Structures are given as structure tokens and as C-alpha cells.
């Protein structure tokens, strides 16, 4: 053990070790300086830049010649139809004219095509406005005017200006009619008192209304799942799409735990897959009995 400590002591007190470490540090510092001042600038052409010329509104052959004489390359990025230019004219470029780039940089250009590409209009009815916009853009179309119309289905596309399946020119605009979430038409609230919950929900839906909160009240005077009252009961007419709150009966007996609970109907009239943004489901308020149909 003593020999080991003596060896370590002699090793760390030897001047040659410190000379070696100092040499490594000096060599590393010189290498970093050389890499930063000489090697990397030479590799990246530091200090050498080329101004990108404006090659738009000229034939592709002429644009290619100009880029080559400037020490630049090009690549066709896209083809679009523009009636203002002849075929095979450059109508867009990236990077833009005037920018400073490295030599041999590739310039991406868009040229005008002789024929106008056509695309098929997708079906966006019953989709949310956001999803409909994405579908149109993915199909090479543009979203046109968005008009809101009285409907209880908020932000859902009711109609589209161009029918689905029709083939149109690329970048054609499609106008959309979208629901505002609350109808402007006054409708009468049906008297759902003493109705079964399922029957009451169907009656409200047929009247153009929505089911709001559902509260449960224990009583033995009526059968379970019967509507005791609804809110607002003092307004005979309301706007289409208004939510109606229901107070529903449940049995006081201990056997109610074995009975079938109230049936909650999904208020949405449309397929959830077709209406991702429609949100008309109404959950019971806090404190309500959590009965739910299997």
C-alpha cells in the first residue's frame, strides 16, 4: 500500500506531467484559433457573397443563363398557371432578388405552365370550418367568402358554393356557408312536463332546441325518469338552439340502485365523425346523480 501512495506522489509531482499538460493545452488553443480563423472561413466561403438577381418575368432559359453566370444553381420548385405570363416564364423565386447568398447556392423557381391544372372539389359540408379549410387547401383550392347563417350547429359548414366532385381549375376559391351556433328564429318551447326523459329530449330536438343541464330530484309521486319541470318555463318562445334545463325524477326507494337509470340522448343530430367541432352534449351539473345508459 505504501508503494502505491509513493508511486502516485511521484507521478503527480513529476514536472514532465505538467510540461505535457501545458503542451496539450497550447496545442488545443492553437488548433481552435486556426479552425475559427482559417479552416472554417475557407470551408464556408466566409466573406464571399453573391447578390441574387431578379429572374422573375423572364423565360426559363434566360433565367438559367443568368444564374449560371453569377455562380448559382437553380431547381424547379413548382409549376403554376398564371394568365399574365407566357408559358415557361419564371413567376416566383426563392431566395428573393437582392439577398446575399453563398456561391453555388441553389435558387428554387416557380414557372408558368401552358395548361391550367385541375383538381376535384372535396366534400366539406358538415365539417368544422377549420377542417374544411384544411381540406380545401390540401386539394389545391382557396377558401373564399365565409358567410354565417342561422343554425344551432356552431362553426359547422352548412353549404359550399361549388358541389363536391366537380373538377375545377387549381386555386379556385370556394365560398362556405357556416352556422352561427344560435338560430335567429323564435320557436315555441314544447311542454315536456310529465314526459319520460327520452320522449322529452326527442320533443326538444324536433323543436330545434338543445338539452341543457339535467338535474335529478328524488320523489315517489311519479315514475322515475319523468320530467318534473324545465327551465325557462316562463318564456314560451326562445331562439332556435337555446338550451333547455330539465329536472328529472328518481325513486326514493333503495331499489333504485338496481333500476335502469335515466337515458341521456346525445343532442347532436349529426355523425360525430362528420362534425368534429359540434359540442351539444350536456353533462349533469355537479351534485347530480350519475345515471347513464349502458
Q: What is the DSSP string of 67-93?
A: HHHTT-EEEEEEEE--TTS-TTBEEEE
The reply to whether 70 and 129 lie within a common domain is no
The reply to whether 194 and 284 lie within a common domain is yes
pLDDT category at 268 given cuts 50, 70, 90 is: very low
Task: Give me the phi and psi of 70, to 5 degrees please.
Answer: -85, 0
Lowest mean pLDDT among 52-56, 130-134, 237-241: 237-241
The reply to whether 284 and 190 lie within a common domain is yes
Average pLDDT, integer, range 148-173: 85
The reply to whether 205 and 261 lie within a common domain is yes
Q: DSSP for 15-39, please give it.
A: HHHHHHHHHHHHHHHHHHHHIIIII
Length of the chain: 294
Lowest mean pLDDT among 59-73, 147-161, 210-224: 147-161
Reference 209, options 177, 182, 235, 242; nearest CA is 242
Count up the domains in the chain and report the number: 4
Q: What is the CATH number of the domain that holds 169?
A: 3.30.10.20
The reply to whether 196 and 247 lie within a common domain is yes
pLDDT in tens, 191-234: 999 999 999 999 988 887 888 889 998 988 888 899 999 988 88
The reply to whether 125 and 171 lie within a common domain is yes
Domain range for residue 165?
118-179
pLDDT over 70 at 145, yes or no: yes
Amino acid at each position: 500500500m505504501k508503494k502505491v501512495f509513493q508511486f502516485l506522489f511521484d507521478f503527480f509531482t513529476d514536472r514532465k506531467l505538467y510540461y505535457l499538460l501545458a503542451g496539450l493545452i497550447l496545442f488545443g488553443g492553437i488548433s481552435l484559433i486556426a479552425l475559427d480563423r482559417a479552416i472554417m472561413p475557407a470551408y464556408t466561403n466566409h466573406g464571399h457573397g453573391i447578390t441574387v438577381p431578379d429572374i422573375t418575368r423572364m423565360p426559363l432559359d434566360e433565367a438559367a443563363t443568368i444564374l449560371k453566370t453569377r455562380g448559382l444553381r437553380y431547381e424547379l420548385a413548382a409549376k403554376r398557371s398564371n394568365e399574365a405570363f407566357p408559358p415557361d416564364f419564371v413567376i416566383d423565386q426563392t431566395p428573393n432578388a437582392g439577398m446575399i447568398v453563398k456561391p453555388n447556392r441553389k435558387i428554387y423557381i416557380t414557372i408558368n405552365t401552358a395548361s391550367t391544372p385541375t383538381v376535384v372539389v372535396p366534400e366539406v359540408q358538415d365539417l368544422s370550418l377549420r377542417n374544411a379549410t384544411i381540406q380545401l387547401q390540401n386539394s389545391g383550392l382557396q377558401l373564399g367568402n365565409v358567410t354565417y347563417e342561422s343554425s344551432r350547429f356552431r362553426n359547422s359548414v352548412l353549404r359550399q358554393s361549388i358541389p363536391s366532385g366537380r373538377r375545377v381549375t387549381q386555386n379556385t376559391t370556394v365560398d362556405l356557408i357556416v352556422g352561427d351556433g344560435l338560430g335567429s328564429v323564435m320557436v315555441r318551447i314544447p311542454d315536456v312536463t310529465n314526459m319520460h326523459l327520452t320522449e322529452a329530449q326527442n320533443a326538444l330536438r324536433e323543436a330545434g332546441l338543445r338539452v341543457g343541464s339535467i338535474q335529478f330530484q328524488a320523489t315517489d309521486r311519479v315514475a322515475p325518469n319523468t320530467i318534473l319541470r324545465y327551465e325557462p318555463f316562463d318564456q314560451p318562445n326562445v331562439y332556435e338552439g337555446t338550451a333547455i334545463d330539465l329536472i328529472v325524477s328518481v325513486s326514493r326507494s333503495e331499489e333504485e340502485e338496481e333500476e335502469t337509470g335515466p337515458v341521456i340522448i346525445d343532442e347532436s343530430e349529426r355523425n360525430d365523425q362528420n362534425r368534429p367541432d359540434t359540442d351539444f352534449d350536456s353533462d349533469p351539473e355537479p351534485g347530480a346523480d350519475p345515471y347513464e345508459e349502458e
